Amino acid sequence: MRYASIGGQAVIEGVMMRFGDEYAVAVRKPDKEIEVKRAPYKSLVSRLHVGQIPILRGMFSFLDSMILGISTLTYSASFYDDEEEEGSEKAQSGDKKEKDQKADSSFGLVMALTVVIAIAIAVFLFMLTPYFISTLFGRLIKSSVLLAVIEGIVRLAVFLLYMIAISRTESMQRVFMYHGAEHKTISCIEHGMELTPENAMKCSRLHKRCGTSFLLFVMLVSIVCFMFIRTDSHAMRIVLRLVLVPVIAGISYEFIRLAGKTDSTASDILSAPGLMLQKYFTTREPDLDMLEVAIASIEAIYDWRGFQKGREGL
């Protein structure tokens, strides 16, 4: 099996796929029609020419994923605004163009602020909170290595509780079904099958290159990295944890990249925990309509038939 250089994510009632410097997002609208948007996206990795530099490419790939992910989530959610709001827009259609122009001009700033806030919340929840909890054991335990292990265990526990919590919400259930549709359609291509909803349904909803696996690697890599932080200053420990977040993301990216490109025993071992998280928390079995949406997203930007014949792209 060959791995395709295409990836994506689930959005509200849809799927976003990205290949090269383009992406496509397909959304099942309230009227049940599929809306497909195709647009260019010049990644930070491409603009900064760091695609061949280990660690750095992972750091900026993570930022790219955050930026494009939040943008396409916002786009997909726009189809499900309240009917009252839509009626109000129709009543004021004469002012719509001017409002759209103003909205476009501020969109970049809003997206940048959203990404910063999202990263800040994630860092506080998964990096700093476990550290603060582990310090409670400082009076009883003097070993910095043991405290780092306790911090790591708390971090994993917080991460798993977070996964459990969001997987139980009704709105996320459908997103996770579309997540499964994203994986199944890519797997269908990579196994050399005709890309149809029926064929994709036969494929696994789990994939080695999933963002869920990446996040788990971040948790595990952070445990090892923080074991080597030796300082008596609490302030310095916090600073180092913040500074090392991009580095940890870069290292985790290299692991997920390696695991996703081979079918070796080592790759299978590396991928197993992430696949388990996907199975129980972040993916669900989609229906045929969801697979149809995922296929529409793929076919907007990717020549899957060409890939199966040994060439990639459009």
C-alpha to C-alpha distance for 122 and 65, rounded to whole angstroms: 14
Q: How far is CA 204 from CA 100, 182, 185, in A?
A: 41, 10, 9
pLDDT at 123 over 60: yes
C-alpha to C-alpha distance for 91 and 146, rounded to whole angstroms: 64
CB neighbours of residue 180 within 10 Å: 27
C-alpha to C-alpha distance for 289 and 190, rounded to whole angstroms: 21
CB 67 within 8 A of CB 111: yes
Q: Give me the mean pLDDT over the 294-313 stretch.
A: 92
C-alpha to C-alpha distance for 58 and 247, rounded to whole angstroms: 8
CB 259 within 8 A of CB 147: no
- In Å, the largest CA–CA distance within the chain is 69
Per-residue pLDDT at 101: 45
Helices (H), 124-138: 129-135
pLDDT at 111 over 70: no
98 alpha carbon, distance to own chain's centre: 34
C-alpha to C-alpha distance for 75 and 121, rounded to whole angstroms: 22
Residue 262's pLDDT band (cuts 50, 70, 90): confident
DSSP string computed for 187-241: HHHHTT----HHHHHTS-S--TT-HHHHHHHHHHHHHHHHHT---S-HHHHHHHH
Residue the block writes with tokens 């696949």:
275
Mind listing the pLDDT tens digit for each residue in 71-110?
999 999 999 874 445 555 544 544 444 444 444 556 667 7
In DSSP terms, which residues pair with 181 in a beta bridge? none
In DSSP terms, which residues pair with 38 in a beta bridge? 24
pLDDT at 257 over 70: yes
CB 51 within 8 A of CB 59: no
Mind listing the pLDDT tens digit for each residue in 173-192?
999 999 999 999 999 999 99
CB 230 within 8 A of CB 115: no
In DSSP terms, which residues pair with 28 in a beta bridge? 34
Mind listing the pLDDT tens digit for each residue in 124-179?
999 999 999 999 998 888 888 899 899 999 999 999 999 999 988 888 999 999 99
Residue 258's pLDDT band (cuts 50, 70, 90): confident
Residue 56's pLDDT band (cuts 50, 70, 90): very high
- Share of residues in the chain with pLDDT > 90 (%): 68
Mind listing the pLDDT tens digit for each residue in 265-288?
888 888 999 999 999 999 999 999
CB neighbours of residue 80 within 10 Å: 12
C-alpha to C-alpha distance for 115 and 200, rounded to whole angstroms: 33
C-alpha to C-alpha distance for 185 and 196, rounded to whole angstroms: 8
